[in-house]
Structure 1
Amino acid sequence: MRIHCFQHISFETPGLITDWARQRGHQLSVTRFDEPAPQLPPLAEVDWLVVLGGAMSVHDDERLAWLAPEKAFIGQAIVAGKTVLGICLGAQLVANALGAAVTQNHLPEIGFYPVRFSEAAQQHPLFAHAGGQATFLHWHGDTFALPTGAEPLGASEACQQQGFVYGTRVVGLQFHPEMTADILEQMIRHDGHELVPGPYVQTAAELRAGMEHLGQSQAFLFGLLDALAHQQEA
């Protein structure tokens, strides 16, 4: 299977998705939008599209010349019936491609916080492994409305839309299940200025302590990716 990732920030790599692809024997390629002249792949050569996070906004088209073409490609991938997974900014871009509004969340959410999964999600074949609640890393200031026709994944105290599933092959996750300790250290180093004290903003020390939840994130992610792969084969 051919998995292609859209990466927006040098240190926000596919993380655990790379480990899963390697273990399952799948190909993984990346478009780096943080590098000069990023190239989009031919859609016909992509089975899965994974859209990663980043500090920019869905609405930064005038500032970022590659953003409009990226949005168009995401929409084309959905229409073509590709498996599409969006994470954090990626989820906002997928929601935007499905016609949903992306706006500022009422409060920033940065840290390890629990997500309560909806009844619909717990009954969906992609999330049957998830249980009722799990703790993940969050690092975002924006949020999205639920796209028309999508089922809500769940909510946290700080954010009512923590994800969605659209049909059986399109998923958006506001949180970061792909996270590794190395990526988080880079985020703290480069984006630590965003750790302004607030009700749902943890300190760097709390973020490092929260790494104990990364095993739970991996179990969730690998279960989701395995379920998506089963859908691809069906």
Structure 2
Amino acid sequence: MDILVVQHVEADPVGILGRYLEVNGAWLHTWLVPQRSTPPHGTYNGLIVLGGPMNACDDENFPYLARVVELIQQFHREGKPVLGLCLGAQLIARAFGGRVYQNEKPELGFTSLFPVAGAKEPWLQDYPPGMPMMQWHFDTFELPVGAKLLLTNEVCTNQAFRMGSNIYGLQFHPEVTPEIVMNWIAFKTEWIEANYPHLFEQLREQLVLHWVQAAQFTEKLANAWYDQVATTAQTKSSVNAAGDQKS
């Protein structure tokens, strides 16, 4: 399965999520936006949109964001799975009419998430209520009309949602490794020292306490999402083959 990955900044790669997808058999094609103005040409079975520090509606400073929104809408029209993480989730919300705005306070570090009643996604089965996942965001969004909320907490209500049958937005960061988090800290050292000096030690402790369990969840997410990508592609192939036989 060929999957297009939209990477907004070098410091926020697909991480451990990508490793698990590749184990399943995925071929990841990364559009590293700072290096090229358009995505690599190809036919893709799924789309992943990663995080980044920019606002999801700042087309003036980041004009390519409108192209990413178009990609999300295109994959939706084609019935292909989409997975958005942090900024990616906000861009999915924007693509379907949801407002993106500043959250009341930043959500930084591992915070507890709670499944919403009725959430039946395979990757949420046996999710322990309150299990922490890594966060690094200042904005949030309104759920688009028709979206189904899947995960929530008190700091930021909309933590994970589904549009239709195969488009998912996750406000948190299941893809991170300890190395990625430490790179974020290094990149933001002066800002953290000035605003959240406790965050250095807090994140180190949280990585020791929570990352292994979070990575196990990410493996479950990757397996389930890859299965959805493969099933969707196989269904489309069968439909196309049946159409060719009739013609």
What TM-score, normalized by structure 1, do the two folds share?
0.91
Q: What letter is aligned with 1:205?
A: E
Give the conservation status (yes or no) of the 8 Å contact 1:150–1:167. yes
User: Which protein has the larger Cα radius of gyration, Structure 1 or Structure 2?
Assistant: 2
Match status 1:33 vs 2:30: no
3-state SS, counterpart of residue 135 of structure 1: strand
Give the aligned partner of residue 19 of structure 1.
Answer: 19
Structure-2-length-normalised TM-score: 0.86
Q: Deviations over 1:156-200 (max 9, x none)?
A: 2211111101233111110111110111011001123453657xx
Aligned length: 229
Equivalent position SS for 2:67? helix
Partner of residue 109 from structure 2, selected from 83, 108, 111: 111
Q: Structure 1 pair 138/79, CA: closer, same or farther in 2 (3 Å)?
A: same
Unaligned runs of 5+ in 2: 232-247
Residue 161 of structure 1: which of 152, 158, 161 is its match? Answer: 158
In structure 2, the residue matched to 1:69 is 67
The alignment-based identity, stated in percent, is 34
Given candidates 121, 134, 137, the residue that maps to 1:137 is: 134
Tell me which residue corresponds to 2:203: 207
Conserved in 2, the CA contact under 8 Å of 1:83 and 1:169? Answer: yes
Change (3 A) 1:152 1:183: same
What is the root-mean-square deviation of aligned Cα atoms in Å?
A: 1.8
CA positional deviation for 1:131: 3.6
Q: Deviations over 1:86-118 (max 9, x none)?
A: 000010001111111111101111111111111
Question: What amino acid is the match of 2:64?
Answer: W
CA distance in 1 between counterparts of 2:164 and 2:130 reads 22
Gaps of 5+ in 1: none
Partner of 2:147: 150
Contact in 1 for aligned 2:97/2:144 (Cα 8 Å): yes
Moved over 6 A (4+): none
Counterpart residue identity of residue 39, structure 1: T
Structure with greater helix percent: 2
Residues 168/126 of structure 1: CA separation in 2 closer, same or farther (3 Å cut): farther
Task: Write out aligned runs for 1:95-110 (5 A).
Answer: 95-110=93-108
Kept in 2: contact 1:135–1:217 (CA 8 A): yes
d(CA) in 2 for partners of 1:189, 1:226: 31
Tell me the alpha carbon deviations over residues 116-135 of structure 1, each in whole angstroms, 9 at most, x when there is no partner: 111122x3334224243310
The answer for the alignment partner of 2:239 in structure 1 is: none
